[in-house]
Structure 1
Amino acid sequence: MSGGVQGFDPRTGEPVGDAVPETSQVEVDELARAGAAAFPAWSALPATERASVLDAVADALDASADSLVALADAETALGVPRLTTELKRTTNQLRLFGEVLREGSYVEATLDSADPGIVPPRPVLRRLLRPLGTVGVFAASNFPFAFSVAGGDTASALAAGCPVIVKAHPSHPGTSHETARVVASVVPPGVFGIVHGQEAGVALVEHPAIRAVGFTGSTAGGRALFDRANARPDPIPFYGELGSVNPTVVLPDAAAARPEGFAAEFVGSLTLGVGQFCTNPGLLFAPASLVPALADAVSTAAGGPMLNERMSDSYRSGTDELAASGLADLVAAGTAPEKGWSVEPRLFQVPLATFADHLDKLTEEHFGPAAVVVTYTDPAELEPVLPRLPGSLTGTVHAAGTEHEQAGRVAEALRPVVGRLIFNGWPTGVAVAWGMHHGGPWPATTVPLHTSVGATSIRRWLVPVTYQSWPDDLLPAELREGNPLGIPRRVDGVLGVH
């Protein structure tokens, strides 16, 4: 072991607990081989039995909630109320995937009867999705539970039938270690493991037993690992969630109707979790008349501690550089505690013409409670600019009842560059549901086809296999005549439970 990963209290910068030992490459190899050895039995386990294991993991985490939340608060400063809710979200995700497994449509079972009379003749075809193999999951910094050790990537991969090895985030090593202990106490041996340390993460991506990787983190870190995944002798899927500025457009009548109320809601979303949300509304298009209300709201808003010193330094240096660039004006700054890694909210303003001329620079993400307001005079001016934005997880439109036609045009301009369109709401907060899509074009994600939140996130860990002309007794249960599992299937083009 090459050293330890130390947790810190962001409120003070002081160490929390003992350092967690880094994982050696030998240990990574052992975990990956154990996952590969466990894969045949775990993937062959009936879906309803895997669902019961997921429910048991959720129950075990709920039983350990008090100690896990207290440790996470010490390492992240996100607060007990927020973390309590986040842990419940995490266990709800696990239970959701139990429901997905019991419902059964996730395998996309498709049955085609033989038809020798068409050109070309069609044999008996049976198709379904099967698990990939052992996968690696990189935990996020900003959600120590919901996007971390037992978070959505882990839950969906385990549900799919894939063993999981998690790369813990260094911002909360103790929390990760304890969460992993709870998970490992429930699942079968080899089905779950955890590694600590940067070198262990690289070794995980490059290990031949790893068949796919899920990642939530910075664009730079994600791109480096994405390149490693693609440089392997056998390239593997890398599902990365990276950077996102989440453009929000407020149309004139909506802005004029209640400027102070709108500004308060915007700042509430901007500063939620000290702005450390992947869906933080960092780019706002608004009439200039709204800026005073926005500035007043930001100037009275309080910041707080970032998750780690690097993030705090990056936020300060990035926003200082923007203020000194001559491209945008710093129109308001809030307050922040002096101790630890705290930062204050910051609001910048730039005219649309300047923004359009310097779009690459002015759309850089400043992870934290900072936003750029782009002022315009006519909403029609936005339509050629919005499709040029970098990919984001979300795009939002605020409109009055008189502006629905314009809102539709703005939404259509945003649609190619975002994964979720929101009307008269705020992007922070991602529901765990069948209909959720949490993805988007680069740099929001590396694969915009897929989501990392919601029931369909299981699709990332599955690949299609077609069985041609096989006897019924040799087929997977999902494809047999009579539908013994009673799951939704498409039979000769018709979708139903048959």
Structure 2
Amino acid sequence: MITGKNYIGFDLSNAGSTTFKTFNPKLNKETEWLFYEASEEEIDKATALAWKAFHEFKTTSYKKRVQFLKKIADEIEQLGDELIKTYCEETGLPEGRAKGERGRTCFQLRTFAAYIEQGTWVNATIDTAIPNREPAPKPDLRKMSIPIGPIAVFGASNFPLAYSTAGGDTASALASGCPVIVKSHPMHAGTGELVASAIVKAARETNMPNGVFSNLNSSGIEVGQQLVAHSLIKGVGFTGSITGGRALFDLASRRKEPIPVFAEMGSINPVVLLPMALKTKGIEWAKAYASSITLGTGQFCTNPGLLLGIKSPDLSSFLEVLSKEISEIEPSCMLHPNIATKYDGKSTKMVAENSVALAAERKGNVADNYARQMVVKVDGKSFIANPRLHEEVFGPFSMVVECEDQKELSTIISDMDGQLTGTIISEENEIDDYNEVVAAMQNRVGRLIFNGVPTGVEVCPSMQHGGPYPASTDSRFGAVGIHAIQRWIRPLSYQNWPNQLLPDALKDENPLGILRLVNGHHSTESI
């Protein structure tokens, strides 16, 4: 049941006077629910509870945390049709997408449960003492990772489940032993409250401390700003726009105690179409990319927004087929009128730029909040000269750049902002003649794809969902996969500490049975 209230720890609260509603973009009208924006008093109470809970939660056994994470997944599934119906009402996305994203969310939670049980994530390292070493004795040093404290997580507009209330940021933070305060996304606050209720129920039933999780509503930016500035918040997870992520990053940096902000912000995901690949399979790739550009109405962070090729008849044929396919795909609903309006504005501005030509656009009438998919083209020289052409258009939009030669192609990639993905479309052995292009792409992306499309992010340890700025604020980390946990922990060394007082992960007898680096060698044995 949706109440519209905030979860301050285990308790529902509506102390604030500001209210708002979510919006059904398909029906083009507000939903029935009324939500209460968190007050400053509620923010203070949630952070105080989180800080208090942290001192207990960080010492809970891995086994108890495993039970907690698994229980959250179970409770999300128990929400059943109410969650799916609410998700679809607040986003305009289809039921199949909602169920798929729910499955991914629960999979992430269970994956982190399995991972923390292994214990390797604490990075236990032991160098035993050598008291007789000359010219000075060597102390006993033992190091492991510990949680940093309460984390503020910002829900994403385009993934109401997998990147929001119980998404990768929340799952990884809870797995590490850090309490979480979610700043729910205003576009899907009802979906967020239902998921929050599942997390709170799981916390109660697994005897987690009150304050291990809170969920705060907000229609604007004030609640998020207050959270990031609060002295008891020790880290931030964010998925959204470059403007929003950079504002939070700057705010966190200006604090008396600066804190890390792990933001995934924007990407146009360049695709290089090599000449032989276009000659032999250009039609196939054009059809594949028409589908990729319009998938989910282009509202994926990995949407292929830039297609690069060397000027040739084959590139022209590719563009012709791509344009035809794009024009015939049925338009679909965007997440919110605000997003649809921004898409219309940015795509229109792109077409109006000098040297940019409209290659294809969905014709005819479209329903309110539905997007007209679009492809434009420009020459390489004009693209290099105009930084505005490098900006992301969030939606079913892509730009084809006709380069004069390989040198111009490499220059474009080298000068590009950081990206989440980069793709090379190549025939067998063709790529060997484009080492400079590949090297340039490696320097600008977090994931390098060969003969595929960038849309689709597999949840597994080898996935890197991040990249050089502004794709993310720290290219070493991402929000997808088990290594996301490394964002919420820090190393702590113990020197000459009595064995019985050490954490279990560092004790001589290795009671957890985890893999440790002992005197330079990995081992699960006791010392």
TM-score (norm 1): 0.97
* Distance across 1 between alignment mates of 2:308 and 2:77: 42
Aligned to 1:314: 342
* Distance across 2 between alignment mates of 1:477 and 1:3: 48
* Distance across 1 between alignment mates of 2:54 and 2:364: 49
* Distance across 2 between alignment mates of 1:49 and 1:13: 45
Out of 436, 439, 457, which is 2:466 matched to?
Answer: 439
Deviation of the 1:114 alpha carbon: 1.6
Give the aligned residue type for 1:60. Answer: E
Assess if the C-alpha contact under 8 Å between 2:418 and 2:469 holds in 1: yes
Task: Determine if the alignment matches structure 1 residue 330 to structure 2 residue 363.
Answer: no
Out of 106, 114, 121, which is 1:106 matched to?
Answer: 121
* Distance across 2 between alignment mates of 1:336 and 1:178: 39
Assess if the C-alpha contact under 8 Å between 1:144 and 1:175 holds in 2: yes
Aligned to 2:229: 206
Aligned to 1:345: 373
* Distance across 2 between alignment mates of 1:120 and 1:446: 42
Measured at CA, do residues 304 and 337 of structure 1 come closer, stay the same or move farther in structure 2, by a change above 3 Å?
A: farther
* Distance across 2 between alignment mates of 1:309 and 1:119: 72
Aligned to 1:145: 161
Larger CA deviation: 369-378 vs 468-477: 369-378
Matched pairs, number: 497
Deviation of the 1:450 alpha carbon: 1.0
Secondary structure class of the residue paired with 1:165 = strand
Out of 401, 425, 428, which is 2:452 matched to?
Answer: 425
Instruction: Name stretches of at least 5 consecutive residues in structure 2 with no aligned partner.
Output: 1-15
Deviation of the 1:471 alpha carbon: 0.9
Deviation of the 1:243 alpha carbon: 1.0
Assess if the C-alpha contact under 8 Å between 1:12 and 1:341 holds in 2: no
Q: Deviations over 1:227-251 (max 9, x none)?
A: 1111111111111111111111111
Assess if the C-alpha contact under 8 Å between 2:79 and 2:194 holds in 1: no
Aligned to 2:9: none
Aligned to 1:219: 242
Aligned to 1:180: 196
Give the aligned residue type for 1:64. Answer: L
Task: Determine if the alignment matches structure 1 residue 279 to structure 2 residue 298.
Answer: no
Assess if the C-alpha contact under 8 Å between 2:309 and 2:409 holds in 1: no
Measured at CA, do residues 41 and 357 of structure 1 come closer, stay the same or move farther in structure 2, by a change above 3 Å?
A: same
Aligned to 2:34: 19
Q: Deviations over 1:249-277 (max 9, x none)?
A: 11111112122211111111111110000
Measured at CA, do residues 148 and 297 of structure 1 come closer, stay the same or move farther in structure 2, by a change above 3 Å?
A: same
* Distance across 1 between alignment mates of 2:20 and 2:246: 23
Deviation of the 1:408 alpha carbon: 4.3
Out of 141, 165, 190, which is 1:125 matched to?
Answer: 141
Out of 183, 192, 212, which is 1:191 matched to?
Answer: 212
Q: Deviations over 1:180-210 (max 9, x none)?
A: 1111111132100011113211111111111
Out of 279, 283, 286, which is 1:256 matched to?
Answer: 279
Q: Deviations over 1:73-99 (max 9, x none)?
A: 010011100110000000000000001
Assess if the C-alpha contact under 8 Å between 1:253 and 1:402 holds in 2: no
Deviation of the 1:493 alpha carbon: 1.1
Secondary structure class of the residue paired with 2:66 = helix
* Distance across 1 between alignment mates of 2:161 and 2:368: 23
Q: Deviations over 1:362-399 (max 9, x none)?
A: 11000001011111243343123211110111111111
Secondary structure class of the residue paired with 2:429 = helix
Assess if the C-alpha contact under 8 Å between 1:302 and 1:336 holds in 2: no
Out of 363, 367, 392, which is 2:394 matched to?
Answer: 367
Task: Determine if the alignment matches structure 1 residue 305 to structure 2 residue 305.
Answer: no
Write out aligned runs for 1:8-157 (5 A).
8-116=23-131, 117=133, 121-157=137-173
Aligned CA RMSD, in angstroms, stands at: 1.4
Assess if the C-alpha contact under 8 Å between 1:301 and 1:335 holds in 2: no
Aligned to 1:376: 403
* Distance across 2 between alignment mates of 1:127 and 1:497: 16
Deviation of the 1:433 alpha carbon: 0.9
Structure 1 runs (4+) deviating above 4 angstroms are 118-121
Instruction: Name stretches of at least 5 consecutive residues in structure 1 with no aligned partner.
Output: none
Aligned to 2:384: 356
Assess if the C-alpha contact under 8 Å between 1:274 and 1:304 holds in 2: yes
Measured at CA, do residues 316 and 122 of structure 1 come closer, stay the same or move farther in structure 2, by a change above 3 Å?
A: same
* Distance across 2 between alignment mates of 1:195 and 1:272: 31
Assess if the C-alpha contact under 8 Å between 1:226 and 1:238 holds in 2: yes
Assess if the C-alpha contact under 8 Å between 1:195 and 1:201 holds in 2: no
TM-score (norm 2): 0.92
* Distance across 2 between alignment mates of 1:467 and 1:140: 39
Q: Percent sequence identity over matched residues? A: 39
* Distance across 2 between alignment mates of 1:383 and 1:178: 48
Deviation of the 1:295 alpha carbon: 1.2
Deviation of the 1:118 alpha carbon: 5.7
* Distance across 2 between alignment mates of 1:157 and 1:97: 10
Q: Deviations over 1:276-314 (max 9, x none)?
A: 001111011124332111111111122222111221111
